[in-house]
Amino acid sequence: MSTWNSILRKATTLLGVAILAMGLSGSPAYAQMVETESLLAAPQTEPDRVQIKDALNREDIRQKLAELGVDANDIAGRVDSLTDEEARTLAQRIDSLPAGAGTDVVTILLLVIIIILLV
């Protein structure tokens, strides 16, 4: 009987260790190093989108867009649906336009209309 108790005790201990090991094992976590250059090279388009929205919130541009049939409520959604490259290009183009000139409104409107038609 003592050999039977000894085998049963060892089997119980082995089973308990196996159950404990299965309970403690979790899914593995995968991590790797990220280079600073790759983070700096990642596109930061949120400031570009804010800049575009600010430019489109001007009253004269809103009036011109309304004349062209663009709903003012759709403007923010359409700016959000731009690709990162389109947003960056448009934001750079807005910065390069001369301040106070009459052509900046027309140029911005043309760019916005082209992008709206593409989307």
Q: Quick one: CA torsion of 96, 101, 106, 110, rounded to 10 degrees? A: -10
Instruction: Determine the pLDDT at residue 84.
Output: 81
Question: Cα–Cα distance between 87 and 104 in angstroms, integer?
Answer: 17
pLDDT at 80 over 70: yes
pTM as predicted? 0.47
pLDDT, mean of residues 4-19: 85
pLDDT at 12 over 80: yes
pLDDT band at 50 (very low <50, low <70, confident <90, very high): confident
The answer to whether residues 76 and 53 touch, using CB atoms and an 8 Å cutoff, is: yes
DSSP secondary structure string for all residues of 2-56: HHHHHHHHHHHHHHHHHHHHHHH--PPP------HHHHHHS---HHHHHHHHHHH
